[in-house]
A and B are shown apart, each in its own frame.
Chain A
């Protein structure tokens, strides 16, 4: 599943990402395979997404989130 399909409040582990389409800036914030990601808040229309990635809080658009593969983790 992709990050865009995650529900509000859920946590996941990043599995893979499309290096060509995910901005390096996000990768450098710690959006890397193996790191934990939490969806803190969603704006209306599920876009943008307010995330906690590896301790950094950041907002990205859905179009970027669709290129990040994640695996949901249980609470």
Chain B
């Protein structure tokens, strides 16, 4: 009978922990969230021997058990609680050879918890090049553990690691630190109060405010030893603890590690001198940024067209071949186009994440954080807001999820609130058709005017995000104590396998998170559009059929247009018409705006339905829109109303999926509600101003 053990993979960020995880589990992994909080939970399956397999938990990267972020909290809460369902039988701590001293700090902490621990020294392929030599046996002896050398780049050492994990019950438990050395009186008295408990765990209960074995901070506080005193006192003890740990580590390394510094970091620092240069650093960053945008739009065009026409023909096929009662119609006209609306974004999101994960894997992203921090801080953001703001140009949903590594809550919240202003790819089809319609195809100073307007809209999005952040910074009264500490990892060649897995996981979570909502709203809108309150909806065929001299297609188009007008959705459009008339829109555009709440690009499709043309014939829609007139004979789409509409789409919060993700990330309905009201208000006023001025 085969047995399954639990293994926790623990390590500092940038040690290649995830690469080790990927090699151990392959694609047999699943990601999710820890209950109640937005920390990503990754687990995978690994077969160790014939009889033994393991569930591997890839815990969030952490520098220490003294938690400073949600991610790190997860680690300590899991490791303190023996009754936790994921509590590991063995901990594998991943260290990288170049930062081994700092990585060992975490190792000593885990070992002091009394969990059987294996040390993985990763990137061993770099040892010779860096002039490092390690006496593994000596180090195993000094740390009283088992050590495995791995190279995830060359896929070496993984089998040895599996064997070591399988033999986990031979590992010895012993502590690295004697707490009496830090402050004899304090720790002696603490131990006396709780004689049966591990002193390190008690100490963590006091400093980290976690609980174990039914002891929490209050229990300790209520004893008479005065063990919780002032934060300042505790922090001094923590500093002394850290010094003691480093003394221990230095002793270990003195005996087992030799570094010949001469061959060391020359190339790295030369690269940094250019990439973080106060002038060239920015130039290089903007060139990279432009390249990424270019690539996203150049490369994603073909797959997006292919997806679009595939879904259109699927829907057509279903319409002609399925019987025409409610459920099959729902599938053909509601669900299939709804799914298409989700799938169409996959190319752009995947390409964007290819670039972002390459930038992160190489270590360059930390340099961008360094370069941009001061600039963005002026607007109440952080250097770490760069990734969300860039990702926002594909889709706000993964962008908002990417704010998780901003430790400072105020900066993180502001980033979440302004990210939807960046021009996401769902706005693009709306812009493209409106620009083609109202902006003349001429050249200004050698540049295409239509292209300039599109670029202007992108800049407007970024600009509005910055202005919004600036205002929020002044308005929001939140304590923001967490300091900014960013590790600048060494530059590395990205491992393609890791890039692939990241892209796969991010895209998957987009499809699942946003997909459900887009799909649900598409279905709802379809129901609203295909049912009406009065009998004239059902009698559409008869009423329109009275008109004379129409061809078969014209008749069908007229009927569907009439039906839409008489549907619930049509009533909604008419109902809001007075409100949007000052912006230059009629009720048909009103319907398109309302239906855009599923996803903005639905705008084009809705107009196609309203103006009764096939959804994929963009050129025809354009011509029909150009011919559209108000009751008084003036055209509906003029420069003024077209620009007003684009400004409305630039600022309005028309994305249910984004609101849902903001609700999840901020854990309250307050912030998405504020976002919805304020952004829509800004959009309304700006569009009003645009229409009145032009």
Which chain A residue shows the least CB distance to B369?
A59
Could you tell me if B278 and A56 are in contact, using CB atoms closer than 8 angstroms? Answer: no
Which of B198-206, B416-424, B480-488, B596-604 is found at the contact surface with chain A? B480-488
A74 at the interface (CB under 8 A from B): no
Which of B86-94, B230-238, B528-536, B628-636 is found at the contact surface with chain A? B230-238
Q: In the docked arrangement, what's the CA distance between A42 and B272, Å?
A: 11
A24-B238, A41-B272, A41-B273 as given contacts; A55 in contact with B278, CB under 8 Å: no
Q: 1/0 contact trace for A14-27 toward B, CB 8 Å?
A: 00000110111111
- Interchain nearest-CB distance for A13 vs B (Å): 15
Q: In the docked arrangement, what's the CA distance between A45 and B371, Å?
A: 11
- Interchain nearest-CB distance for B395 vs A (Å): 29
B151 at the interface (CB under 8 A from A): no
Q: 1/0 contact trace for A23-59 toward B, CB 8 Å?
A: 1111111101000000011111101101000111111
Could you tell me if B101 and A55 are in contact, using CB atoms closer than 8 angstroms? Answer: yes
Could you tell me if B232 and A19 are in contact, using CB atoms closer than 8 angstroms? Answer: yes
Which chain B residue shows the least CB distance to A42?
B278
Could you tell me if A43 and B374 are in contact, using CB atoms closer than 8 angstroms? Answer: yes
Could you tell me if A47 and B374 are in contact, using CB atoms closer than 8 angstroms? Answer: yes
- Interchain nearest-CB distance for A24 vs B (Å): 5
A60 at the interface (CB under 8 A from B): yes
Most chain B CB atoms below 10 A, which of A40, A43, A60: A43
B373 at the interface (CB under 8 A from A): yes
Q: List A contacts of B235 (CB < 8 A).
A: 19-20, 24
Which of B33-41, B61-69, B453-461 is found at the contact surface with chain A? B61-69
Most chain B CB atoms below 10 A, which of A24, A47, A55, A64: A24
Could you tell me if A27 and B483 are in contact, using CB atoms closer than 8 angstroms? Answer: no
Could you tell me if B485 and A23 are in contact, using CB atoms closer than 8 angstroms? Answer: yes
Could you tell me if B485 and A41 are in contact, using CB atoms closer than 8 angstroms? Answer: no
Query: Chain B: interface residue count, which band?
Result: 35 or more
B246 at the interface (CB under 8 A from A): yes
Given B101, B231, B373, which contacts A48 in the complex, CB threshold below 8 Å?
Answer: B373
Q: In the docked arrangement, what's the CA distance between A50 and B369, Å?
A: 11
B584 at the interface (CB under 8 A from A): no
Could you tell me if A28 and B66 are in contact, using CB atoms closer than 8 angstroms? Answer: yes
Q: List B contacts of A58 (CB < 8 A).
A: 485-488
Could you tell me if A24 and B64 are in contact, using CB atoms closer than 8 angstroms? Answer: yes
Q: List A contacts of B371 (CB < 8 A).
A: 43
Q: In the docked arrangement, what's the CA distance between A29 and B482, Å?
A: 16
Q: List B contacts of A19 (CB < 8 A).
A: 232, 235-236, 239
Q: List A contacts of B101 (CB < 8 A).
A: 30, 54-55
B27 at the interface (CB under 8 A from A): no
Given B102, B231, B484, which contacts A30 in the complex, CB threshold below 8 Å?
Answer: B102
Could you tell me if B239 and A48 are in contact, using CB atoms closer than 8 angstroms? Answer: no
- Interchain nearest-CB distance for A51 vs B (Å): 9
- Interchain nearest-CB distance for B559 vs A (Å): 64
A19-B232, A25-B485 as given contacts; A59 in contact with B374, CB under 8 Å: no
A50-B488, A61-B373 as given contacts; A56 in contact with B276, CB under 8 Å: no
Which chain B residue shows the least CB distance to A21?
B483
Q: 1/0 contact trace for B372-388 toward A, CB 8 Å?
A: 01100000000100000
- Interchain nearest-CB distance for A42 vs B (Å): 7
B436 at the interface (CB under 8 A from A): no
B370 at the interface (CB under 8 A from A): yes
- Residues B355-376 near A (CB distance < 8 A): 366, 369-371, 373-374
- Interchain nearest-CB distance for B685 vs A (Å): 35
Q: List A contacts of B68 (CB < 8 A).
A: 23-25
B243 at the interface (CB under 8 A from A): yes
Q: List B contacts of A23 (CB < 8 A).
A: 68, 482-483, 485
Q: List B contacts of A20 (CB < 8 A).
A: 231-232, 235
Q: List B contacts of A60 (CB < 8 A).
A: 483-486
Which chain A residue shows the least CB distance to B69?
A25
Which chain B residue shows the least CB distance to A17?
B239
Q: 1/0 contact trace for B480-508 toward A, CB 8 Å?
A: 00111111111000000000000000000
Q: List A contacts of B167 (CB < 8 A).
A: none
Q: In the docked arrangement, what's the CA distance between A43 and B367, Å?
A: 10
Could you tell me if A55 and B102 are in contact, using CB atoms closer than 8 angstroms? Answer: yes
- Residues B236-279 near A (CB distance < 8 A): 236, 238-239, 242-243, 246, 269, 272-273, 276, 278
Q: In the docked arrangement, what's the CA distance between A19 and B504, Å?
A: 43
Q: List A contacts of B490 (CB < 8 A).
A: 57
Could you tell me if A24 and B66 are in contact, using CB atoms closer than 8 angstroms? Answer: yes
Could you tell me if B276 and A41 are in contact, using CB atoms closer than 8 angstroms? Answer: yes
Q: List B contacts of A50 (CB < 8 A).
A: 272, 276, 370, 488
Which chain A residue shows the least CB distance to B484?
A61
A28-B105, A29-B102, A32-B239 as given contacts; A57 in contact with B487, CB under 8 Å: yes
- Interchain nearest-CB distance for B474 vs A (Å): 19
Q: In the docked arrangement, what's the CA distance between A45 and B278, Å?
A: 10
Could you tell me if B374 and A44 are in contact, using CB atoms closer than 8 angstroms? Answer: yes
Q: In the docked arrangement, what's the CA distance between A44 and B277, Å?
A: 9
B448 at the interface (CB under 8 A from A): no
Q: List B contacts of A45 (CB < 8 A).
A: 374
- Interchain nearest-CB distance for B175 vs A (Å): 18
Which chain A residue shows the least CB distance to B72?
A25
B218 at the interface (CB under 8 A from A): no
Most chain A CB atoms below 10 A, which of B68, B235, B485: B485
Most chain B CB atoms below 10 A, which of A27, A28, A32: A28
Could you tell me if B483 and A61 are in contact, using CB atoms closer than 8 angstroms? Answer: yes
Could you tell me if B488 and A57 are in contact, using CB atoms closer than 8 angstroms? Answer: yes
Could you tell me if B369 and A32 are in contact, using CB atoms closer than 8 angstroms? Answer: no
A45-B374, A47-B374, A59-B370 as given contacts; A29 in contact with B63, CB under 8 Å: yes
- Interchain nearest-CB distance for B491 vs A (Å): 11
A19-B235, A55-B101 as given contacts; A30 in contact with B373, CB under 8 Å: no
Could you tell me if B63 and A28 are in contact, using CB atoms closer than 8 angstroms? Answer: yes
Given B236, B246, B276, B373, which contacts A32 in the complex, CB threshold below 8 Å?
Answer: B246
B405 at the interface (CB under 8 A from A): no
B99 at the interface (CB under 8 A from A): yes
Given A28, A40, A56, which contacts B99 in the complex, CB threshold below 8 Å?
Answer: A56
Q: In the docked arrangement, what's the CA distance between A22 and B236, Å?
A: 11
Q: In the docked arrangement, what's the CA distance between A57 and B265, Å?
A: 11
Could you tell me if A27 and B239 are in contact, using CB atoms closer than 8 angstroms? Answer: yes
Most chain A CB atoms below 10 A, which of B64, B487, B488: B488
Could you tell me if B102 and A59 are in contact, using CB atoms closer than 8 angstroms? Answer: no
- Known contacts A23-B483, A57-B489; 10 additional CB pairs below 8 A are A19-B236, A22-B483, A23-B485, A24-B68, A55-B102, A56-B102, A56-B487, A59-B485, A60-B483, A64-B483
Question: 10 closest A-B pairs (Cβ-Cβ)?
Answer: A57-B488, A23-B483, A59-B486, A59-B370, A41-B276, A28-B64, A19-B235, A61-B484, A25-B485, A47-B374
8 contacts between A and B (CB under 8 A): A24-B242, A25-B483, A27-B239, A28-B102, A41-B272, A42-B278, A48-B370, A64-B485
